[in-house]
Structure 1
């Protein structure tokens, strides 16, 4: 038999220019969609809808159009229409294409690169509409402009013409923008209708009406006077709602506040300029660093309440920045300075006491918005603002305007300012007392618990990055796992059955529960607000439970514990769930190079593998079905579940804290009705033939 060489190895040593793949136009988007929309699940599908809606909202921000309509049709189409200026229909000089075709087929093309058509917008990379077009099985755009209606259609980003409705109609490529009718003078607007491509988006990707309503409501707060109407025709009965809020972010602040007010809504507004060095094309086509003067509009609404929670929503133009950025950093820094400066003229603080920005933020609800041209974001999903100059300018504005609030001589405002200062001082004293209590408790616990739980089977390695903690269900599984593990870096902590449901229990009850307390003690980083990620003793925490409904419940209870009391571990991507197999095939006549044992992880995979082996005429013994981890011997458990490179781990992630909070409350909280509705709704989706009963 000839030896393998670099040339005959699969994917071997040949590497020439002919192996390079050049993706033209929108091919790159279809090849790597997650690069542009974050993911191909519900979140990515909703992001496509946001891109089209935000284009209409950008027109409203510029003073064109006060109505936007969004329709979710029964046939899967999504329609977004506005009454703004309409996409340009004349030809763009460099490409020779109409404005409509440029916008929907060319990446990094549009009117938001500072050319004067827009000043402050959410879209700035020029990829939104073209990316949606590339990821749609069909997209139709209709533009009312210049006294005529213009229409154009695309399939996977390629212009052409369909001979009927829907994405399955016969498609002929090559059609151009066409006039289809006349309209009255002064009538303008754009309608985009598209079908997301099922080849790109998975079956679980659905349009979430609640998310759409929340986004529409949020946008209507940010653009006063803009009416956004949502029609959902997918259900048995059509659904319609309209969002319009003329009060702007002051009304938004009141809407978000979770407590009773101790101050009126305070508006901090200002405008400023800054110089930014950006690369610009010169006459020769070269990029030259150029100083550009930018205008910055700052508008912040805030009010203090009787509670203790802090609610901060931040936006750049109309785009939410859930992870903050330079505008939020400047705002919070200046808030702390303003409160500290205001306290200097009072006798509220005792000697040695100090108020921090966290104390000033207690009970504060605020909406932070800035508007500027071409903001620097981190990635196309625009979750963090990175423009450096914004931090300094926002801080200056906030410190100045809050200074006026705290020094106001108006009777009502003066009393409210005094209340805020007293509240901040009380928060500072509570913080100091809590820290002292925590330190005392830590010392007490250190004396009482000098050693880790006896049932912990620790590992030898001192390298936290390598160390793994397996939380194992049951003593029987522990015995097998002891033999299967690598004692150098894998530790085992057994738990007895189902731990306490901490979503329903108090902190005291949680700490009294032996299983919960031992998990927190072994992780070694504390719990709740005192949790210190750097103190965690393990680089990975892995739930290892049976692959049945009881095991799923145990994993859910463990996930709830970590979400409620050790959330930074999840946010850091250090919490996983092991995936043990359900079945094992033992081949009686394996061919050369084949494994004697084959494992499957679901009933569907079992059926496929059995059919495949039968078709290949490979004989196998009666497949073994594992009812639990304890039925596996050490070699099987090591090969399938614990050995790096052979095992499968599912990382538990937290993309949206608010949404995750709601899901945990629904599944594990005290309110039974939403959970019952969820279970009943899910029951109708189950294939009765698939139930193993």
Structure 2
């Protein structure tokens, strides 16, 4: 059992930490898994700040099976000498004193993620046990804490545990020497057990979140190696991240679509003054005006899609809710592109309409980083930057760097600048058109179908939840499907051949394509950013194409259209692929007993059925019918196998399916030729001629 001794000398140590234990949400946001992860990143960020300052290039994070977590680095190590004002070692000051650390002045860190000086001490206060080891001055120094109180755990020969007997220090704290290291070897190792009295039941370290954040940090600090070793299960994996390309490589990783522009790098800096209280030699806090430097580094690119991926950071700490730096970026980019559109109004065919923020942000993938000493955050969780002067500096850097890019005489820069203006203007026109359409258009009922495409064979029911739209391939399949459908709730829309490859087409090209426009118009919910799932005219959309290579190609094209411009339909599970049969086997029965029909959906299934029939001594008609397309079936066969709700099989399309289809389609049909050539060469030896349906 841990000792309950509590002496007078600990009052000053625990007075502040007790406030942390009483109001943990004020310091870590919450006491669930999110708060637990926040604690871990407070410790990791200290090591990252060291790497950012040029000390240490490796950080190891180990998730132990006993619910403890350990962070190791090869930086300078926490100071072990006595701090003059308190007389305590640097280690004890860092882990027991709120608002203590090396990030208040400007001597140790020019720019860091920690600035309140409460990170390590808060984690210590909320830990049942915390052990720290420091390699410094040729020795290994160690200290342990129990809920913020320094002392010694008696582990004996057992593994370290928070349940081991604990003896707090009564008179003087002891920073123990537990080993020796080679001269010049430095680093820190911190292992702690989160206090289950504080954190909710079920709170756990989220492995995926940890890996994602580690990857993100490795992008932000080029050359830093971060290793995650998850030992909580026997199959736990060890993952390492190291990137040399910095935020440009980060943008390429984040981008969800094919590029319109290359990844551009916008850099610059600015200065500002602010008045802050500074501790004088006499111990008084005096307001002092300081000159600050703010460095801005941005990587961005525009793609063919309309999704916006924006990541912003201050001293490599993520600011998911933005702040003054992101506001400056938005304002600077919007002002600059508005000016460019006005200057090129005749070529772009724009009237008096003005760009809005959403037009500029559509298809943008950007990583925005600023570095400045002592940034002002809103709260310890550091989700919003509050320093006001940063806004104007970032806006100025963006406008200046973009002006240089657009003023470049290089052919590639000119071409990409023109493509970017075409894209943002297309987004603006699409937004204006969608708004006008939404204001004038209402959902048509069965008697008001005049505005819908003439080739649509609509259903009678107005019940959206029960209705189905079949997108069928070709007029021959339409004729059969018209007789096979249930006209009460099943609608048909034929498409002619292969629709536009929207993977590499612009928004305006997509909207002007007859087949794509017809599909969007029939579904009736808009497209892209203006898509409104609640106004969709059908509960299910079922892609019904032939069971051959061309049919698979058409299905992929349609999935790409839905994934790019009507993604909520897929996310809500309302897009399906019909599964038509490949073969029809007629089993001949003796006498007057009617023959039996068996449909199979793959070559393997056919062989299994034939083997079973042979085993049972059954005869079947030969040759076995192999369906080349939906048009070869009669209405009864199509209804039974593919359209009748009681007998059919549907394959629900999920977002990962569509993402994979989109990635494959980009490889096989995108603008970049080199990866496609490599793919073809790599797979040439494995190609089976028998699989080619020609």
- Structure 1 distance, partners of 2:46, 2:397, is 29
- Structure 2 distance, partners of 1:505, 1:291, is 70
**1:431 pairs with 2:431:** yes
Aligned residue among 150, 162, 165 for 1:167: 162
Aligned to 1:88: 79
- Structure 1 distance, partners of 2:327, 2:106, is 29
**1:393 pairs with 2:383:** no
1:62-120 CA distances to partner (integer Å, 9 max, x unpaired)?
00000000001111210000000000000000000000000000001000112410111
1:216-295 alignment runs, 5 A limit: 216-295=214-293
Aligned to 1:440: 440
Residues 404/166 of structure 1: CA separation in 2 closer, same or farther (3 Å cut)? same
- Structure 1 distance, partners of 2:99, 2:568, is 42
Bigger Cα displacement from structure 2, 324-333 vs 112-121: 112-121
Deviation at 1:444, TM superposition (A): 10
Aligned to 1:109: 100
TM-score (norm 1): 0.62
Aligned to 2:561: none
Deviation at 1:673, TM superposition (A): 10
Q: Secondary structure, in 3 states, of the residue corresponding to 2:306?
A: coil
Deviation at 1:187, TM superposition (A): 0.2
- Structure 1 distance, partners of 2:410, 2:39, is 49
Aligned to 1:372: 372
Q: Is the 8 A contact 2:434 2:530 kept in 1?
A: no
- Structure 1 distance, partners of 2:193, 2:413, is 53
1:539-554 alignment runs, 5 A limit: none
1:156-210 CA distances to partner (integer Å, 9 max, x unpaired)?
0000001102111111101411111211110000000000011111221011100
**1:24 pairs with 2:15:** yes
Aligned to 1:151: 142
- Structure 2 distance, partners of 1:499, 1:87, is 64
Q: Secondary structure, in 3 states, of the residue corresponding to 2:15?
A: coil
Q: Is the 8 A contact 1:321 1:385 kept in 2?
A: yes
Aligned residue among 32, 55, 58 for 2:46: 55
Aligned to 1:612: none
Q: Secondary structure, in 3 states, of the residue corresponding to 2:299?
A: strand
Deviation at 1:431, TM superposition (A): 1.1
Deviation at 1:441, TM superposition (A): 3.5
1:151-550 alignment runs, 5 A limit: 151-164=142-155, 165-174=160-169, 175-346=173-344, 347=346, 348-441=348-441
Aligned to 2:481: none
- Structure 2 distance, partners of 1:375, 1:383, is 12
Deviation at 1:443, TM superposition (A): 12
- Structure 2 distance, partners of 1:272, 1:192, is 37
TM-score (norm 2): 0.62
Q: Secondary structure, in 3 states, of the residue corresponding to 2:432?
A: helix
Residues 424/40 of structure 1: CA separation in 2 closer, same or farther (3 Å cut)? same
Q: Is the 8 A contact 2:254 2:365 kept in 1?
A: yes
- Structure 2 distance, partners of 1:293, 1:71, is 41
Aligned residue among 93, 105, 126 for 1:135: 126
Deviation at 1:500, TM superposition (A): 5.6
- Structure 1 distance, partners of 2:568, 2:319, is 24
Deviation at 1:402, TM superposition (A): 0.4
Aligned to 2:637: none
Deviation at 1:237, TM superposition (A): 2.4
Aligned to 2:492: none
- Structure 1 distance, partners of 2:393, 2:55, is 29
- Structure 1 distance, partners of 2:397, 2:349, is 26
Q: Secondary structure, in 3 states, of the residue corresponding to 2:16?
A: coil
Deviation at 1:564, TM superposition (A): 7.3
**Bigger radius of gyration, 1 or 2?**
2
Q: Is the 8 A contact 2:431 2:530 kept in 1?
A: no
Q: Is the 8 A contact 1:337 1:357 kept in 2?
A: no
Unaligned runs of 5+ in 1: 1-21, 449-497, 507-511, 513-525, 533-562, 566-668, 675-693
- Structure 1 distance, partners of 2:73, 2:464, is 53
- Structure 2 distance, partners of 1:386, 1:409, is 38
Deviation at 1:295, TM superposition (A): 1.2
Unaligned runs of 5+ in 2: 1-12, 449-462, 472-488, 490-525, 533-566, 570-651, 658-694
Q: Secondary structure, in 3 states, of the residue corresponding to 1:24?
A: helix
- Structure 1 distance, partners of 2:32, 2:221, is 29
Q: Is the 8 A contact 1:528 1:564 kept in 2?
A: no
Q: Is the 8 A contact 2:306 2:529 kept in 1?
A: no
Q: Secondary structure, in 3 states, of the residue corresponding to 1:26?
A: helix
- Structure 2 distance, partners of 1:142, 1:501, is 65
Q: Is the 8 A contact 2:106 2:373 kept in 1?
A: no
Residues 93/531 of structure 1: CA separation in 2 closer, same or farther (3 Å cut)? farther
Residues 158/23 of structure 1: CA separation in 2 closer, same or farther (3 Å cut)? closer
Q: Is the 8 A contact 2:306 2:528 kept in 1?
A: no
Q: Is the 8 A contact 1:269 1:401 kept in 2?
A: yes
Q: Is the 8 A contact 1:342 1:403 kept in 2?
A: no
Deviation at 1:292, TM superposition (A): 0.9
Aligned to 1:583: none
Residues 170/218 of structure 1: CA separation in 2 closer, same or farther (3 Å cut)? same
Q: Secondary structure, in 3 states, of the residue corresponding to 2:152?
A: strand
Bigger Cα displacement from structure 2, 314-323 vs 275-284: 275-284
Aligned pair count reads 453
1:597-647 CA distances to partner (integer Å, 9 max, x unpaired)?
xxxxxxxxxxxxxxxxxxxxxxxxxxxxxxxxxxxxxxxxxxxxxxxxxxx
Q: Is the 8 A contact 2:14 2:96 kept in 1?
A: no
Deviation at 1:436, TM superposition (A): 1.2
Deviation at 1:671, TM superposition (A): 3.9
Residues 49/501 of structure 1: CA separation in 2 closer, same or farther (3 Å cut)? farther
Deviation at 1:287, TM superposition (A): 2.7
Aligned to 1:125: 116
- Structure 1 distance, partners of 2:527, 2:21, is 43
Q: Is the 8 A contact 1:343 1:349 kept in 2?
A: no
Deviation at 1:320, TM superposition (A): 0.6
Deviation at 1:355, TM superposition (A): 2.0
Q: Is the 8 A contact 2:73 2:187 kept in 1?
A: yes
Aligned to 2:692: none
